[in-house]
Amino acid sequence: MRKSVRKLMALALACLMVAGLLAGCGKKNETIKLGWMGSLTGDQAAYGTCESQTLKMLVEEKNAAGGILGKQIELICYDTKGDAQEAVNVAKRLCAQDKVCAIIGPNASGQCIAIQSVLDQYKISDLSTVATNEKVTVQDGKLKEYNFRVCFLDPQQGKIAGTFVYDELKFDKAAILYDINDDYAKGLKDNFIKVFTAKGGKVVAEEAYTGGDTDFTAQLTKIKEADPQIIFTPIFYQDFIMIHKQARTLGITLPMLGGDGCASEVLFDAADAVDGSYVINHVSLVDPAGDSFRQKYAEKWNGAKMELNGYMAHDAFLLWCAAVEKAGSDDAQAIAKAYCEVEVNGMAGKIKISAEDHNPVGKSGCVEQIDGKNKTYKFITYIAAD
């Protein structure tokens, strides 16, 4: 008696499972699944959080307006913890388990480079927001079929930095302090030196540290001794803040110039220390054209301030929408193909992806000065990236 009950139960369970499978199949085409990945925790959490919140807001809007191709968009967001290995796991989950039609993110080059093999395996495209390293789309002269981006590149950013310091500020003595363990920092540093010295500038001190270090007084004292006019710091905002704090206590009042990794609202936590320094950005954070966008975001997310990543996520989403419409379906390969065929007007200017290298063409970078007293940025100039 007991045995047969067990058998019956097993049979019932098996039936349930099969039913579940079938139910899953039936639902498959009701929504269009878009994946997002990025840092929701860790040092770059502020960036990832802003990206995911922006996308959630935009997807909600788009769905309320009828969705895309008559279907609702389902956004699936995962945390990469700022870690390349975790990014690979997350990418696999999005591709294999959630079966998304495209991925937006992650917000750092190292993670974008790491997920390439997963993208190639599942033939699903990734459209990166702020991954500026060259190798994200092209490595060893070979185009990565499923990696795209909407931002400018490190060489271009290094060039913007060098041009700005020499041509705009008219400085010819610069020091560099960078994280030797970080590809992003090294990429910017090398290209800055190339452009700056070619113009006639001189790098009087080149100091490094290892990611995770918190004490920079030894390097800063050395830089002070070399007497530069500006310190180029191609790093991320947390180190940027710590370096500023320590420099000010050492009596170094020089301005510093950071890349797009420094531009964050978090900087104003240390407003006094960072006052007067410059950051390069993809888009001006104080441009009146973005006012309504920022306001919408703040209303939706409890007064949260818009980070650069929000603008880039916005542009990536626009491009994705255009590509889906062009492709006419949620077929992952058709969308990847359509990325190079569409053109949109984003927050950071016109975006047209080149089929040759999957990078946007004709971008420019904007340099802003930090106004610590009013806790805002002051727009300085636009510099062409190409």
Partner 1 sequence: MDIQYYLQQLVNGICLGGMYALMSVGYSLVYSIMSFSNFAHGGVIMVGAYVGFFALTALKVPFLVAFLLCGVGSGLLAIIIERLVYSPLRQRHAPSLYFIISAMGASIFLENFVIATIDGTPRNYPTLFSNSIKIGSLSLGLDSLLMIIVSAVSLLILMFIIQKTKIGLAIRACSYNEKAGTLMGINSSLVIFVVFMMGGILAGFAGMLYGMRFIVKPTIGQVTNKSFVAAVFGGLGSLPGAIIGSVLLGIMEIFVASINSNLRDLFVYALLIIVLIIKPSGLMGKVVEDKA
Name the minimum Å distance from CB 330 to partner 1. Answer: 34
> Does 251 engage in binding with partner 1 (CB under 8 A)?
yes
Query: 259 near 188, Cβ under 8 Å?
Result: yes
Q: Which is nearer to partner 1, 167 or 269 (CB)?
A: 269
d(CA 55, CA 386) in angstroms, rounded, equals: 29
Q: Which residues of 237-251 are buried (b: 16+ CB within 10 A; e: fewer)?
A: bbbbbbbbebbbeee
Residue among 102, 52, 132, 60 nearest 310 (CA): 52
Which is closer to partner 1, CB of 116 or CB of 233?
233
Q: Pick the closer one to partner 1 by CB: 270 or 380.
A: 270
Instruction: Assess 180 for contact with partner 1 (CB under 8 A).
Output: yes
8 A C-beta contact, residue 282 and residue 152: yes
DSSP per residue over 283-318, as a string?
Answer: S-TT-GGGHHHHHHHHHHTTTPPPPHHHHHHHHHHH
Q: Minimum CB separation from partner 1 for residue 45, in Å?
A: 4
Comparison of 10 and 180: residue with beta carbon closer to partner 1: 180
What minimum distance in Å lies between the beta carbon of 48 and partner 1?
A: 10
- What residues does 291 pair with on adjacent strands? none
What minimum distance in Å lies between the beta carbon of 216 and partner 1?
Answer: 9
Q: Is 225 in the site for partner 1 (CB under 8 A)?
A: yes
Residues 335-364 close enough to bind partner 1 by CB under 8 A: none
CB of 155 to partner 1, least distance (A): 24
Q: Convert 271-286 into a string of H (helix), E (strand) and C (coil).
A: HHHHCCCEEEECCCCC
Nearer to partner 1, 154 or 265 (CB): 265
d(CA 108, CA 255): 26
Is there binding between residue 97 and partner 1 (CB under 8 A)?
no
Query: Least distance in Å: CB of 241 to partner 1?
Result: 6
Distance CA 378, CA 278 (A): 9
Measured CA to CA in angstroms, residue 183 lies from 136, 195, 256, 281 at distances of 11, 18, 20, 18
Backbone angles phi, psi at 335, to 5 degrees: -65, -45
Binding mask 183-222 for partner 1 (x = CB under 8 A): ------------------------xxxx-xxxx-xxx-xx
Residues 43/83, Cβ–Cβ less than 8 Å: no
Tokens of 319: 């491009």
Per-residue binding string, partner 1, 63-82, x by CB under 8 A, is: ------------------x-
Q: Could you say whether residue 302 binds partner 1 (CB under 8 A)?
A: no
Compare residues 240 and 278 and give the one whose CB is closer to partner 1. 240
Please report, as residue ranges, which positions from 254 to 293 form the binding site for partner 1 (by CB under 8 A): 266, 269-273
Structure tokens at 88: 């690979």
Number of residues lying near partner 1 (CB under 8 A) = 37
| Cβ–Cβ < 8 Å for 342, 313 | no
Asked if 42 touches partner 1 (CB under 8 A), the answer is yes
User: How many alpha carbons lie under 13 Å from residue 383 in its C-beta half-sphere?
Assistant: 21
> Binding to partner 1 by residue 60, rule CB under 8 A?
no
209 or 293: CB nearest partner 1 = 209
Q: Are 204 and 233 in contact, with CB atoms under 8 Å apart?
A: no
Grouping H, G, I as helix, E, B as strand and the rest as coil, residue 154 is: helix
Q: How far is the CB of 246 from partner 1 (least distance, A)?
A: 7
Amino acid code (one letter) for 353: I
User: Hey, how many other C-beta atoms are within 10 angstroms of the C-beta on 77?
Assistant: 20
- Shortest spacing between CB 42 and partner 1, in angstroms: 5
- Are 131 and 106 a contacting pair, CB within 8 Å? yes
Binding flag, residue 84, partner 1 (CB under 8 A): no
| Closer to partner 1 by Cβ: residue 41 or 63 | 41
Min CB(250)–partner 1 separation in Å: 5
Closest CA to 177 of 167, 165, 186: 186
Q: Which stretch binds partner 1 (CB under 8 A): 149-157, 245-253, 293-301, 361-369?
A: 245-253
Q: Which is nearer to partner 1, 241 or 351 (CB)?
A: 241
Query: Which residues contact partner 1 by CB under 8 A?
Result: 41-43, 45-46, 81, 180, 207-210, 212-215, 217-219, 221-222, 224-225, 238, 241-242, 245-246, 248-251, 266, 269-273
